[in-house]
Structure 1
Amino acid sequence: MTRDLDQTVFVAGHRGMVGSAIVRRLESLGYTRILTAGRDDLDLNRQAQVDAFFQTHDIDQVYLAAAKVGGIQANNSYPAEFIYENLMIESNVIQAAHRAGVHKLLFLGSSCIYPKLAEQPMREDALLTGTLEPTNEPYAIAKIAGIKLCESYNRQYGCDYRSVMPTNLYGPHDNFHPENSHVIPALLRRFHEAKLRGDEEVVVWGSGKPRRELLHVDDMAAASVHVMGLDPDTYTANTDPMLSHINVGTGVDCTIRELAETVARVTGFPGRLQFDASKPDGAPRKLLDVSRLKTLGWQAGISLEAGLADTYRWFLEHQDRFRG
């Protein structure tokens, strides 16, 4: 694997959890020309702005980490925003990259692209073989469209646009909103605040039985840079050209109950756990088959407990921004 550290690399969504981790990873490897743009300077929902940005800058690679994301409640409450904004972001960036002659791009999707009842662990070829989980179907459809955009530009124009499908991510810069966050930041905040109040129990949504695979965002960033850095022959030799996406995960899952118990240990909450089965569980299990990525030379290295402890430390250092 060879890397040109002087290439201009645009990280779309650099302020988000995944984008900021990719920037950290690129910096640690010695990349010297990392291009970023905040929403005040570049609204990725606006086609004209995105086109002008790509025409103005001489970009060699793009990491498309920008997205509208949220947990079950957010997806249920704002389905129109989730499908519209994600479709606009990926369409505008991928088309603008092509117009500007950018040959290499990495699109970051989500494991929710797979059917709700897909065989576990979920392989890449499970895509479009069954019904999606209803609670996040609009978001999943937008991510599937992103994969197909990359495949189509590769097939028609000879681009090298790759897609990685991460499992459930967590880590520094996550969204710790009390209602619109994913499961790990929601649990970390809930257990932390319960500890401060001296509560005797914490209520966790759902039955606690669903199983989830969880990946620290720094592992995700490392995998993304690894996949982007593979030479085309190595990549295509291990990837069906008509199935361009690659799963990224740990290959290990746990129940929501086990996750909540680990969060209680990490945060130091001494009380009881109560599960509210009247709340939605989501998919019964989401475990990725990561054998393709292992064949390409990468596997996760951060354990769940160590990753949760790292995330909790970051939350404690930045909790003032989440008050209210």
Structure 2
Amino acid sequence: MSAESVDFTAGPLDRDATFYVAGHRGLVGSAIWRHLESLGFTGLVGRTSAELDLKDRAAVAAFLAETKPRYVVLAAAKVGGILANDTYPVDFLTDNLQIQVNVMDAAVDAGVERLMFLGSSCIYPKFAEQPIREDSLLTGHLEPTNDAYAIAKIAGIMHVQSVRRQYGLPWISAMPTNLYGPGDNFSPKGSHVLPALIRRYDEAVQNGASTVENWGTGAPRREFLHVDDLAAAVLHLMEHHDGPAQVNVGTGTDVTIKEIAETIASVVGFEGETKWDSSKPDGTPQKLLDVTKLADAGWTSQIGLEDGLRSTIEWYRENSAHLRE
């Protein structure tokens, strides 16, 4: 590997530099792409999974050697909800490890100056003290339904820290809370809780159903961040933050799953009964991030939950005919 140490100086990134967004068609990557484009970044580079399989080590190395980006956001990942994570743990572990290792090793070889690795709040112990601080990492047992995915993301954090130690590159990591927004996965078998609820209640309205049944008790508390807020936070951190520890990205507030279900039902116009199947797993009882470090870096979320939900539901209804199953 041929990386050279780079001193980080806070300030605007070069708007004309080559900037690779890995996973630019996904929920997170597409939001980051839109945000960067809106701010005048002219050197954005992206490849679909059909054009570049990030699990193909040789292909990734060749791509980064050719494009030589100055900046990289690693937003590509295999993601899913409780059912998908619990059913296919091998896929979530191996796919994500391969993607991360391939992109970061190739980025070192290509001399990428600034890389942002994006993980997930599921990296923290299931019973971590709330709100969860960054130093809670590796202090307890993970939630078993998504431990394989979490381990892969923890490995990504360690990879970034290792690159900093061995090569002196000012790479950083950010761990978003639960995300939602345009471009989300609304598949019944692959989606996270919020898009799954949006689809379930909207279909109930379209079909004239009188009841909707949700998994669990509705008691767990979750924090939700609009993906456009995350995109703004990513650029802010790349321009203003440097340090080896991951940075939590969230709103600093949470709601129960029951409350979010009620809000979605109201927004889509569902007036029937909601039932809860308590035989199904709830997952982690609470996942609220401590966002003190993010606030100290000068950034706070701007999009309120109800406003974000309304725009997301509008996007879903406009695009539901073309979404993956």
Q: Which residue of 2 aligns with 1:260?
A: 261
> Which of 53, 76, 79 pairs up with 2:63?
53
Q: Which residue of 2 aligns with 1:100?
A: 110
Please report how far the alpha carbon of residue 265 of structure 1 lies from its aligned counterpart in structure 2 after TM superposition.
1.0
Distance in 1 (CA, whole Å) between partners of 2:324 and 2:200 is: 13
Whether the 8 Å CA contact 2:118–2:173 is kept in 1: the answer is yes
Aligned residue type for 1:313 = E
Q: Which residue of 1 aligns with 2:25?
A: 15
Distance in 2 (CA, whole Å) between partners of 1:47 and 1:267 is: 44
Distance in 1 (CA, whole Å) between partners of 2:108 and 2:180 is: 31
Aligned residue type for 1:171 = G
* 1:53-112 superposed Cα distances (whole Å, 9 cap, x missing partner): 011112100000000000000001110000000000000000000011112100000000
Aligned residue type for 1:155 = R
Q: Which residue of 1 aligns with 2:193?
A: 183
Task: State percent identity of aligned pairs.
Answer: 57
1:138 and 2:148 aligned: yes
SS of residue in 2 equivalent to 1:53: helix
SS of residue in 2 equivalent to 1:160: coil
Aligned residue type for 1:9 = F
Alpha carbon RMSD of aligned pairs, Å?
0.9
1:203 and 2:204 aligned: no
Distance in 1 (CA, whole Å) between partners of 2:137 and 2:170 is: 21
Whether the 8 Å CA contact 2:185–2:324 is kept in 1: the answer is no
Aligned residue type for 2:315 = W
* 1:167-189 superposed Cα distances (whole Å, 9 cap, x missing partner): 00011100010122100110000
Whether the 8 Å CA contact 2:52–2:60 is kept in 1: the answer is yes
The count of corresponding residues between Structure 1 and Structure 2 is 315
SS of residue in 1 equivalent to 2:183: coil
* Cα 1:277–1:299 shift into 2, 3 Å: same
Distance in 1 (CA, whole Å) between partners of 2:293 and 2:84 is: 32
Q: Which residue of 1 aligns with 2:119?
A: 109
Aligned residue type for 2:238 = M
* 1:203-249 superposed Cα distances (whole Å, 9 cap, x missing partner): 1110010000000000011100111112xxxx34xx4x4xx210000
Aligned residue type for 2:142 = L
Distance in 2 (CA, whole Å) between partners of 1:258 and 1:282 is: 16
> Which of 87, 90, 93 pairs up with 1:77?
87
1:159 and 2:169 aligned: yes
TM-score with structure 1 length normalisation?
Answer: 0.96
SS of residue in 1 equivalent to 2:171: strand
1:304 and 2:302 aligned: no
Aligned counterparts, 1:283-322, within 5 A: 283-322=284-323
Please report how far the alpha carbon of residue 3 of structure 1 lies from its aligned counterpart in structure 2 after TM superposition.
2.7
Whether the 8 Å CA contact 2:21–2:33 is kept in 1: the answer is yes
List alignment gaps of at least 5 residues for structure 2. Answer: 1-10
> Which of 238, 247, 251 pairs up with 1:228?
238
Please report how far the alpha carbon of residue 323 of structure 1 lies from its aligned counterpart in structure 2 after TM superposition.
7.2
Aligned residue type for 1:292 = K
Moved more, 314-323 or 183-192: 314-323
Please report how far the alpha carbon of residue 2 of structure 1 lies from its aligned counterpart in structure 2 after TM superposition.
2.1
Distance in 2 (CA, whole Å) between partners of 1:48 and 1:36 is: 17
Q: Which residue of 1 aligns with 2:226?
A: 216
Distance in 1 (CA, whole Å) between partners of 2:238 and 2:318 is: 32
Whether the 8 Å CA contact 2:68–2:111 is kept in 1: the answer is no
Distance in 2 (CA, whole Å) between partners of 1:41 and 1:323 is: 19
Aligned residue type for 2:34 = R
1:38 and 2:38 aligned: no
Please report how far the alpha carbon of residue 4 of structure 1 lies from its aligned counterpart in structure 2 after TM superposition.
1.2
Please report how far the alpha carbon of residue 126 of structure 1 lies from its aligned counterpart in structure 2 after TM superposition.
0.1
Aligned residue type for 1:308 = L
Distance in 1 (CA, whole Å) between partners of 2:90 and 2:230 is: 28
List alignment gaps of at least 5 residues for structure 1. Answer: none
Whether the 8 Å CA contact 2:198–2:264 is kept in 1: the answer is yes
